[in-house]
Structure 1
Amino acid sequence: MNWLDLLVFFVYLGGITLFGASFFKQNKSSEAYTVGRHKFPAWAVTMSIFATFVSSISYLALPGNAYQTNWNAFVFSLSLPIAAFIAVKYFVPLYRKVNSPSAYTFLEERFGVWARVYVSACYLLTQVMRVGTILYLLAITINAITGWSIPVVILITGITVLIYSIMGGIQAVIWTDAIQGIVLIGGAVVCTVYLLYLIPGGMETVMDVGTREGKFSLGSFGLQLDESTFWVVLVYGIFINLQNYGIDQNYVQRYIASSSDEEAGKSALWGGLLYIPVSLLFMFLGTLLFVYYQSGGELAPDLQSLDEADKVFPYFIVNELPVGITGLLVASIFAAGMSTVSTSFNSGATVIYTDYYLRFFNKRNGADRSMRVLYLASGIIGILGVLVGLAMINVKSALDVWWKLASVFSGGMLGLFLLGAFTQRAERKGALIGVLAGIAIIIWLSVIPYIMGTSDDAALHSYLTIVIATAVIFLVGFVISSIIGKNSKAHLQ
C-alpha cells in the first residue's frame, strides 16, 4: 500500500478507537454501559442495527460468493421485510414492556429460569462464532495488503476493538456504528462506480457477461431440500431474521436503548430494510469483479481457485484502486467488521452480567463490582472470539461456514420464543419437552452426520437445521402443553 493509503487507514482506525473510548467517563454504571440511559435518537439506533447486519461477512463474503457462483445469497435479504414487519408489530412492544437489558428475561417470566439459561447460552455460543468469523475475514484483508501473519492480525484487531467497546460501553458501540455504517456504504459505492469505469463497455458488458454466465441467478427454484435453492435460502432467511429481531440480544438491547416505543419501532424497521439495497450492492460488486477479470483484468494465480473467493475483493482493492481510495476501502471493510464485533462484545457482556451474574450471584447489584463484571465478561467474549477466528483459517468459504454454524448453534431457540410470545396455552413442561426434542433434531441433522462423515450425503441442507428445530420445538411444546392442560382440567373436575 502507498503511504497515503496507510495514512487514511490508520487515521480512521485510530480515530474511531479514540472516539469510542471517549465515552469512558459516561459509563460509570451498569445502566449506562448496557442501555445508555435510553437517550439514543432513532437515526443513530437505525444505523447501529444496519451496521450490525453489515459485518465483514457481508462486505467480503457476499462479493466473493457472487463472484464464485451467483446471487443466490441475496435471497436471504429478501426475507427481511417479513421479519421487520413482525418485529415492529409484536417484538418491539413486547420487549419495551418487559424493559430489561436482557432479551431473555421474558423467557424466564414465561417458562422459568431454565428457559433463560438455555437461550442465553445458545446466544453466547452464536456470538463467539460470529466474532471469530468476522475477525478472520478482516485478517484476510490485512494479509492481502501487507503480507502480515493472519493469526497476528486477528489478535491485534480483536484487542483494538475490545479496548473501545469496553471503555465506551453501548454508547461507544451505537455512535461508532452510526459512523461506520456511513463509511462502509460510501466505500462500496465508490468501488462500484470505479469498477464500472474500468470495465470496457460499462454496464452493457456487465449485463451481457453476467447474463451469459448466469451471474444474476437467484438459484434454482426447484424443491430439492439438499441444495441451497431459492426456497431453502428464503425459508432459512425468514427464520434467521425472525431470530435476529425476536431473540437476538444485539437487536433487543437497541429496542430498550431507544428513547421511546415509536423510535424503537422506526429503528427496527429501517435498520433492517436498509440492508436490502446494500446487500444487493455487495452482490453486484461480486458480479462486477467477475466481469472485470473476464474482460481483461488480470487475476493473480492464487485467486483462480474457487476456494479463494473471499479474497477476490481485497485483492482488487489493493492492486487496482487509485492511491488513497485503497485506504478508504480498507477502512470501510474494517468499519463493517468493527461495528459488529463491538456489538457482540457489549451484548455478550450484558447477557453474562444480567442473566448470570445478577440472576445467580449478586442480586443486590453493587455498582463497583457490576462494572468489573461487565469488563471481565467483555474480555471473555473477546478472547473466545479470537480463538475461533484462529480456528477458521483456511476454510473454503467464510459465508457458508458462518451460515452453517449459525444454524447449528442457534439451537432452534426461536421456537421457544415463538411458543412463549404467540401461545397462551404453552406451559413449562411442554416447552421443556419441546426444547429437548429440538436439541435431538439438531444432533440428528448436524452432529451425527459430521461424526459419521456423511455430511455431503445429507437429505436436508444444513441451512434447514434451524427451520426444522424451530418447528419441532414450537409444535411439540404446543401439543404437549395442550395435553397437559386438558389432563389438569380433567383431574380438577
Structure 2
Amino acid sequence: MRTADVLVIAAYVAGLTAIGLRFSRRQNTTDEYFVGGRSIPGWATGLSLLATIITSVTFIAYPGSSYAGNWSLMVPGLLFVGVLALTGRIIVPFFRHVVQMSVYEYFGHRFGRGVRLYASLAFAAGHFSKMAFVFYLLALTLAGMTGWPVQWIIPVTAAITIFYTLLGGLKAVVWSDVVQGFVLWAGILVSLGYLLFLPAQGPRTMLADVWEHGKMSLGSTAFRFDQPTITVLVIYGFFFYLQKYTADQTVVQRYLIAKSDKSALRGIALGAGLCIPVWAAFMLIGSLLWSFYRVTGEQLPKTITRPDQVFPHFLLTHLPPGLAGLFIAALLGAAMAMLASDMNCFSVIATEDFYRLARPRSTDRERLRMGRVTVVACGIAASLMAMQLAHSAGSALSLYYTLTSVVAGGLAGLFLLAFLVPRATRAGAVAGLVAGLLLTLWGVLTENGKILNLGRWNFTWHDYMLGALGNLAVLGVGLAASVMLPGMPRARDLTWQGWRHRRLSMAAAPVSNLSTHFTYSIDREP
C-alpha cells in the first residue's frame, strides 16, 4: 500500500468514528437508539437504504460477473424499483402505522407470538451468517489488495463498526451511510473515468467493443426454468425484493425513521432508484475491464485466476496514489454500512421481539441497555465466525449459510398470507411455513442430484426458483389450512381490506402524532 492510499483510508475511518461520537450523547431512549427519534430526513433515509443494499460483495461480484459473462445480474435488481412501484404507497405507510420498531410485530398481531418469534429468528439467523461472510470476504479482498493479514483485518473492522454503532445508535448508522453514499459515487466515477479514457483508443471504442460482443446483454429470453433466463431472474427478483420490503428489518426500519409517511416513501423511492445506476455502473466496470485488457493487449498476471480478482488488480496497478485508497475506503465503508445496519437490527429484534416479551414490565432504560449489549455481542460473534471461516476454508459455514437461507425463506409468502387473506389463521400460517420449509429443503438437497439423488424426483429447475416456490407454498398451503383446520383469524383489520377502511378514516381525521396511530400494544399481544 502507498502512503497516500493509507492516509485516505485512515481519514475515512476517523470520520466514521467521529460520527459515532457526534450522536453518542443523544441516545437516551430506545426510540432514539432504534429508530432515530423518527426524525431522519427523507433524502438521508434514501442514501441509508442505498448503503444497506450495496454491500462490499457488490463491489467484487458485479464487476466479476459482467467481466466473465453479461449483465444478467441486473435483471433482479430492476425489480427492486418495480416491486416498490407496485406496493410502496401501501406497504410503507402500513408498517409506519402498525408496528413500533420491529416488522415482526405484525406477524404477532395476525398469527400470535410463536409465528412472530419464528420470523424474527429466521431473519436473524440468515443475516447473522451473511455478516460473517461479509467480514470474511472483505478481509480476503483487502488482504489481496493491501497485503494486510486477514487475521487482523477482521477484528479491526469489527471493532470500528461496533464502536460507532454502539455509541451513536441508528442515527450514527444512517449518517455514516450518507457519507458512504458520496464516497461510493466518487469511487465509481473515478474507476469509470480511468477505464474509459486510459486506453489510447478512447471511450467510444471501449463502449462499442463491449456492446458488439454482447457484454451488456441481460441474458437469454428463452422461456425455461432450468437456466438463469430473464424469466427466471424476474421471478426471483420479484419475490426477493417483496421479502425485502415486507419482512426484512433492515429495510422496514428505514420506513420508521422518517418524519412522515410522505418523507418515508420519497426516501425509500430515492434509495431504490439510486441502486439501479450503482449496479449498472459496477456492471459497466466489469464489461470495460474485459474490453480494456482485450483492446490494450495488456496481460493479466498468472496469479489472477478468478474474474472477481480483475477489478482489484486494475485499481492497484492503474489508479494513482490516493485514488486507489478512495475506492478501498468505499469498499470498506460498504461493508461496514451493511454490518452496522444488521447490528442495530439485531438489537431491535433481541430487545423488542424477545426481551420485551419475556419482561413486559421492563423499563425503557433496561431495554436500551439490552440493545447495546446485543450490538456488541452480535458484532463479536460474527467476527469470530469469520475468523473461523478464514481457517476452515468455509465448508462448515457454507453449509450453515445454506441452511439459514432455507429457514429464512417464505417470509414474503407469510406476509402475503397475513395481509391479503382475512380468514388466515395461526394454524394456517404454521402449516404454510412447514410446507415452505419442506419444499425448499427438498429443492436444495435434490437440485440436479448434487447432494441427494432421487432420480425423477430431483429438483431440476434453477435454484433461483426455489425462493418463489417456497413463498407460493407458504401462501397456498396457509390459505388451504386456514379453511380446513380449526381456528379463528385474528386482527382482521390489519389486512388489505381493513387497512383501506382505516386509511379512509385517517384521511377524514388526520392525526399529527404518529404514536397515536398504533392500535395494538406489544405488551397486550397474546
Report the TM-score when normalising by structure 1.
0.91
How many angstroms does 1:367 deviate by? 3.5
Indicate the residue corresponding to 1:440 in structure 2: 438
C-alpha spacing 1:6/1:115, structure 2 compared with 1 (3 Å):
same
Question: 2:150 & 2:64 partners in 1: Cα distance?
Answer: 19
Deviations 1:67-117 (A, max 9, x none): 122111111111122211234222112111114100010110001111111
In the alignment, what sits opposite 2:318? 320
Once residues 228 and 401 of structure 2 are traced to their aligned partners in structure 1, the CA distance between those partners, rounded to angstroms, is 11
In the TM superposition, structure 1's runs of 4+ consecutive aligned residues that sit over 6 Å from their partners are 400-406, 485-488
Q: Give SS of 2:259's match.
A: coil
- Whether 1:462 and 2:466 are equivalent positions in the alignment is no
TM superposition shift of 1:140: 2.8
2:255 is matched with which residue? 255
Would the alpha carbon gap of residues 401 and 87 (structure 1) be closer, same or farther in structure 2, given more than 3 Å must change?
farther
Decide which moves more: 276-285 or 190-199.
Answer: 190-199
Describe the shift of the 1:259–1:460 C-alpha distance in structure 2 as closer, same or farther (beyond 3 A): same
Query: Partners in 1 of 2:405 and 2:221 — Cα distance?
Result: 22
Alignment partner, residue 419 of structure 1? 417
Q: C-alpha distance in 1, partners of 2:178/2:488?
A: 54
Which residue matches 2:198? 198
Distance between the aligned counterparts of 1:51 and 1:486, measured in 2?
43
| 1:472-487 correspondence runs (5 A) | 472-484=473-485
Question: How many Å separate the matches in 2 of 1:312 and 1:133?
Answer: 21
Taking a change above 3 Å as real, the CA distance of residues 95 and 314 of structure 1, as seen in their structure-2 partners, is: same
Residue 300 (1) aligns with residue 301 (2):
yes
1:382 aligns with 2:382: no
Gaps of 5+ in 1: 489-493
Q: Distance in 2 between matches of 1:382 and 1:322?
A: 34
Alpha-carbon distance change, 35 to 318 in structure 1, aligned in 2, over 3 angstroms: same
Please tell me the residue identity of whatever aligns with 1:418: L
Q: CA deviation at 1:266?
A: 0.9
Task: Give the aligned residue type for 1:466.
Answer: G
Deviation at 1:487, TM superposition (A): 11
C-alpha deviation, 1:378, in angstroms: 1.3
Give deviations 1:148-194, integer Å, cap 9, x for gaps: 22243122212211111111110101111111111101111111011
Please tell me whether the aligned partners of residues 70 and 219 of structure 1 are also in contact (alpha carbons under 8 angstroms).
yes
Task: Say which SS state the counterpart of residue 302 (structure 1) adopts.
Answer: coil
Query: 1:222/1:406 Cα in 2 relative to 1: closer, same or farther (>3 Å)?
Result: farther
Q: Secondary structure at the match of 1:338?
A: helix
Q: Which amino acid aligns with 1:46?
A: G
Tell me, yes or no, if the aligned pair for 1:47 and 1:271 is still in contact at 8 Å.
Answer: yes
Matched to 1:355, the amino acid is D
Q: SS of the residue aligned with 2:464?
A: helix
Query: By how many angstroms is 1:392 displaced?
Result: 5.2
Q: Deviations over 1:125-159 (max 9, x none)?
A: 12112212322232133212322222431222122
Does 2:85 correspond to 1:85?
A: yes
Deviation (angstroms), 1:212: 4.7
Q: Is the 8 A contact 1:64 1:310 kept in 2?
A: yes
Structure 2: distance between partners of 1:17 and 1:297: 41
- Cα distance in 2 between the residues matched to 1:107 and 1:117: 9
**Distance in 1 separating the partners of 2:487 and 2:191:** 62
Q: Secondary structure at the match of 1:335?
A: helix
User: For 1:324 and 1:102, how far apart are their aligned partners in 2?
Assistant: 41
Does the 8 Å CA contact 2:155/2:383 hold for their aligned counterparts? yes
Q: Unpaired segments of 5 or more residues in structure 2?
A: 490-526
Distance 1:86-1:212 versus aligned 2 partners, 3 A rule: closer
Alpha-carbon distance in structure 2 between the residues aligned to 1:321 and 1:144: 16
